[in-house]
Structure 1
Amino acid sequence: MGKRYSRRQFLMDGTVAGFGALLLKGCGVSTPSDTASESPAASSGLKAAIVLPGVITDKAWNQAGYAGLEAIKAQLGAETAYVEKVGQAEQVEVLSDFARRGFNLIYAHGGQFDAAIQQVAPQFPQSFFIGVNGAASGTNIASLRIDHLQASYLCGILAAEMSKSKKLAYLAGQEFQATQEELRGFELGAKSIDPSIEVSSSFTGDWNDAAKAKEAAEALISTGADVIYQWLDNAAPTVLQAAADRGIYAFGNTADQLDVAPKAVLTSAVKRIDLAIAKLADLAKNKALKGEVYSLGLKEPTILYLGKFNPAVPQPLQDKVKQTADAIVADKLTFETCTEAGKATRCVKGAA
């Protein structure tokens, strides 16, 4: 049977061809219809939703999050819904709305949602909130992290070996724990090859603004950086193409992005966050999900790994990077909590 909503228009899974999910008009996402058919009761009793900061067609972070939701639907028979393009001001309202509508597993797709999760979760104990890339935890709060540092360490080695200027750069949308750890790993990997190498960083404040990303990339290149490790969403192709146009190297992120700029991309830090999202949903279905931080790294080879290598990367260097990855998986090379310059961080212990 159909159901009509007034202030917000919800399009539930399986109701409108080409969408099959929830769109929230109140967050500036247009809807093609004012009517919505309710999906059949989920066989698993699981109702999962995801709140996304960007669009599901970005071929990066947000698309991977949406793919995770689709996996939950396909594998666990859950009723699923999503909302995209949620800004900082709408986070609390959107998370609360999903909880009020009976969704018992709610993903907030990005570390920038941590404060909103911590505000909303205590009000809705019947729902479990998962901050993807977050750092929050609580009775009904879990954080799901990819160990970005492990992959960026490998990329740092590769960047240092391929750089001629010995100046590298890191470019991301926002500065929070996950991006700081990724930057740290990139620095550690590079300095394991050459302690004198320089690594600069820049944060655009927007994961999807291509103009800001291009401007930031050009500024980094103008300082002499000849390898850029980027973590952006819709804006990523702009940075990769800028690198190609200027004759320097870059790294893909989240998806295997070698094909986006074949001349520039050395390899990609592939993060199958979709599989990680589905993994935690399976725990929830089996009532095994806990209020803690779940960190998945190279020991989960289907979730975190390096993508295709550029033919410009010599085979001995590819072998060296792979050998280092094997050492991390075998715990011969680990990253322990330490203090540096008065701040908590992670340091390398052991050797490849």
Structure 2
Amino acid sequence: MARTQYRGARRRLAAAALASTAALVLSACGGGGAQTQAAGSPTESGSSVAGETATLVSIQPVNDKGVMQDFVAGFEAATKEVNMESNVVVLTDPSTYESTLESVSGRSDLVFTTFPPMIQAVEKVAPKHEDTRYVLLDARLSEPIDNVQELFFRENESSYLAGIVAGEMTEANKVGFLGAIKQDVIDRYLVGFHAGVKSVDPDIKVCFAYVGALNDPALGKQFANTMYNQGVDIIHAATAGTQVGVYQAAEEQEKFLISADVDVRPLAPNFGLTATGPDFSGAAKLAVEQYAAGDFESGLQVYGLADGAVRILPFNDDLVSAEVQQKVEEAKQQIIDGSIKVPDDKSVGDIKNCA
């Protein structure tokens, strides 16, 4: 069904529901699984989506100094720009994923949700709400759904560049990778990083581990300290909110860190080299803009270095030489023009730990 056929009705339902959004969401989730905040309100405008409602459902804290903080910033800025009502719901209990998504779907025109743990909820809820559009961040459905966009990134391409930095700068010939949890998104970071390191020197050892948590800084610090103590002198971490502890370990151990997704320099100013990953803020803006323009596309939307949607973030120029930065730029262009083919998460099983 074309969005223009239901936009007016949706706007009226959204306006009626927003006055009690927080109470309704918490009630639908049994009271204990969600935290709701109004992210923005529309201003008078000629926008065709003014007064419609966008809701972001996150399964990890949105003030994580990482992925979600960046994504929420883009979501809030974009919805404000097109004058949509916007809300952010943070889930802490997996048993509430489906019920919360069901609740917000009934009064939202556009729903964002995040990462593979939400796949099952989206697959159950979205087909029942044909007039709602969904954006699933960094995850793949088992089968396409007509009103769901799967916003997917080639993190392996940007992490390949992280591997070049680590390969060029390691003095121990032993580098490490820390992932938050074992899933295809994190595997892409690992596979790309491993390939980039080995492109510099096949004899450099790449050790890896999964912390098992998206938001446990103490555990992240523990894992990073263990890895540094085992002789690794550079870690590439893709650990979401857990990454705060990895920053602390790098600074205290005085060993290098390559972060993921957000600028590492203010977070690990003395030993943070750079960061790689998707432009989550830009991705959120792109999806909102597509919806507002009537150009929402369901199905798999894949973005990589060539699209500017994944990238290597600014270097700490005091730590990363101009020569290394130039090698990274050359590799980036070779990935974009296709002369370097970066393996993806399907090859993760081929990687041997600390080899």
TM-score by length of 1: 0.83
What is the match of residue 132 of structure 1? 137
Query: Can you give the 5+ residue segments of structure 2 that lack an aligned partner in the other structure?
Result: 1-15, 351-355
Q: Aligned with 1:251: secondary structure?
A: strand
1:196 to 203, 207, 221: 203
Work out the CA distance in 2 between the residues paired with 1:38 and 1:253. 31
Matches within 5 A, 1:111-190: 111-136=116-141, 137-190=144-197
Matches within 5 A, 1:21-100: 26-29=32-35, 43-45=47-49, 46-100=52-106
Work out the CA distance in 1 between the residues paired with 2:197 and 2:22. 54
The alignment status of 1:237 with 2:241, answered yes or no, reads no
The alignment status of 1:315 with 2:316, answered yes or no, reads no
Q: 1:324 deviation in Å?
A: 0.9
246-255 or 232-241, which moves further after superposition?
A: 232-241
Work out the CA distance in 1 between the residues paired with 2:35 and 2:224. 29
CA deviations 1:56-81 (Å, max 9, x no partner) are 22221111121122122222221211
CA deviations 1:239-291 (Å, max 9, x no partner) are 12201221211112211011211221111115321111121222223333232
CA contact (8 A) 1:157 1:189 kept: yes
Work out the CA distance in 1 between the residues paired with 2:272 and 2:304. 22
What is the match of residue 19 of structure 1? none
Q: Aligned with 1:208: secondary structure?
A: coil
Aligned AA (1:131): L
Q: 1:7 deviation in Å?
A: 5.2
Q: Aligned with 1:96: secondary structure?
A: helix
Q: How many residues align?
A: 327
Matches within 5 A, 1:283-302: 283-301=290-308
Aligned AA (2:82): L
Work out the CA distance in 1 between the residues paired with 2:93 and 2:304. 29
Q: Aligned with 2:187: secondary structure?
A: helix
Aligned AA (1:141): V
CA deviations 1:23-77 (Å, max 9, x no partner) are 9954253889xxxx99679843342111112222222111112112212222222
1:280 to 280, 287, 312: 287
The alignment status of 1:268 with 2:275, answered yes or no, reads yes
Q: 1:185 deviation in Å?
A: 0.1
CA contact (8 A) 1:204 1:212 kept: yes
190-199 or 80-89, which moves further after superposition?
A: 80-89
287-296 or 313-322, which moves further after superposition?
A: 287-296
Aligned AA (1:146): F
Structure with a larger share of its residues in helix: 2
Query: Can you give the 5+ residue segments of structure 1 that lack an aligned partner in the other structure?
Result: 11-22, 344-352
Closer/same/farther in 2, CA of residues 24 and 214 from structure 1, 3 Å limit: farther
CA contact (8 A) 1:169 1:228 kept: yes
Closer/same/farther in 2, CA of residues 156 and 303 from structure 1, 3 Å limit: closer
CA contact (8 A) 2:91 2:97 kept: no
Q: 1:133 deviation in Å?
A: 0.8
Q: 1:329 deviation in Å?
A: 2.2
CA contact (8 A) 1:62 1:109 kept: no
Q: Aligned with 1:229: secondary structure?
A: strand
Closer/same/farther in 2, CA of residues 85 and 270 from structure 1, 3 Å limit: same
CA deviations 1:194-223 (Å, max 9, x no partner) are 112222222222211111111111222232
Closer/same/farther in 2, CA of residues 40 and 317 from structure 1, 3 Å limit: closer
Q: 1:85 deviation in Å?
A: 3.8
Work out the CA distance in 1 between the residues paired with 2:176 and 2:253. 14
TM-score by length of 2: 0.82
